[in-house]
Amino acid sequence: MFNYSKYIKEENAKIVPVKLPGVTKNIKVFMKRTELVHPIISGNKWYKMKYNIDEMLKQKKDTLLTFGGAFSNHIHATAEAGKLFGFKTIGIIRGEEYEPLNITLQHAKKNGLELHYINRTKFRERDTKEFIDELKDKFGDVYILPLGGTNTIALKGCAEIVETVDIDFDYICSASGSGGTFAGIVAGLDGKQKGIVFPALKGGEFLKKIIENLVYNYTGKRYNNWEINTDYHFGGFAKLTTELVNFTTEFEKLNGFPLDYIYTNKMMYGIADLIQKGFFNEGEKIIAVHSGGLQGNEGMKSRFNSLLK
């Protein structure tokens, strides 16, 4: 395995107690701050990518090709990883090309990521054999990492998030976009304790089957110690409401560090609401995973600020 320790500080992913706005019940909540492992390759993006980079090098490939939207944390992190570790990167971007580039794509391009745009209809075909063959014909013998960095190999790194939790707990919670991070967490739990996943997108029920299949393909087991909660999408992916913005702002005042505006803030709101509704028992301990993605806040800032009281 490549020695990443010069650049990535996994030991910084400390666990800290947090206060939740409006919560008065005696239930302890802690945050696993995986966003601290690196300023850019942060949070779950690193844990999903680390063993995929090893696999790419094992296959003697020098180019990583992956997929994302125009504000993708994954594209942002992939470009940085390529620059740091010395491999080429290609991003297949959903949607039409436009100028000027947003901050995410500016950063990616500056760090050497080669941008290629495809329309949304074609983008939905990205996992088909026909489309993968097209990519290989066009770009050669590249290592292809799926959308969001989610594949079976990614679960090995995400399972380590659980393995490095050094306090007793009853629940571990994660936000989700593509399902890979939480699937790794389920694998890491290995049937012990309980997990809750909070999709950041509307209609996230489909993630249940994806997570089940990822876990089974990785472990050969099916677990029933986890559940999916789709009640806290706030209208859909990257959607905000005044209530969510005010909660996020208050959380940051109480705890002194930021949440991301797309994933983690919705999860934390969900945890706070479930506590107040009596879902958790008095005295239970909850671990919430901060999955990073803070670079995306810049693109959300104008909408966020307009909803502030």
**What is the per-residue pLDDT for 160?**
97
Sign of CA dihedral 133, 134, 137, 143: negative
**What is the per-residue pLDDT for 156?**
97
Residue 169 phi, psi (nearest 5): -155, 165
10-39+159-307 with 44-149: one CATH topology? yes
Q: Which CATH architecture has domain 10-39+159-307?
A: 3-Layer(aba) Sandwich (3.40)
Q: For the chain, list residues with pLDDT below 70.
A: 1, 309
Q: Is 74 exposed, middle or buried (0-12, 13-18, 19+ CB in 10 A)?
A: buried
**What is the per-residue pLDDT for 71?**
86
Q: What is the pLDDT of residues 18-28, one digit of tens each?
A: 999 999 899 99
**What is the per-residue pLDDT for 236?**
94
**What is the per-residue pLDDT for 99?**
87
**What is the per-residue pLDDT for 169?**
98
**What is the per-residue pLDDT for 309?**
66
Q: Which CATH class is domain 44-149?
A: alpha beta
Instruction: Give the domain ranges of the chain.
Output: 10-39+159-307, 44-149
**What is the per-residue pLDDT for 291?**
96
**What is the per-residue pLDDT for 61?**
97
**What is the per-residue pLDDT for 150?**
94
CB 138 within 8 A of CB 132: no
Residue 105: which of 91, 95, 118, 124 has the closest Cα?
91
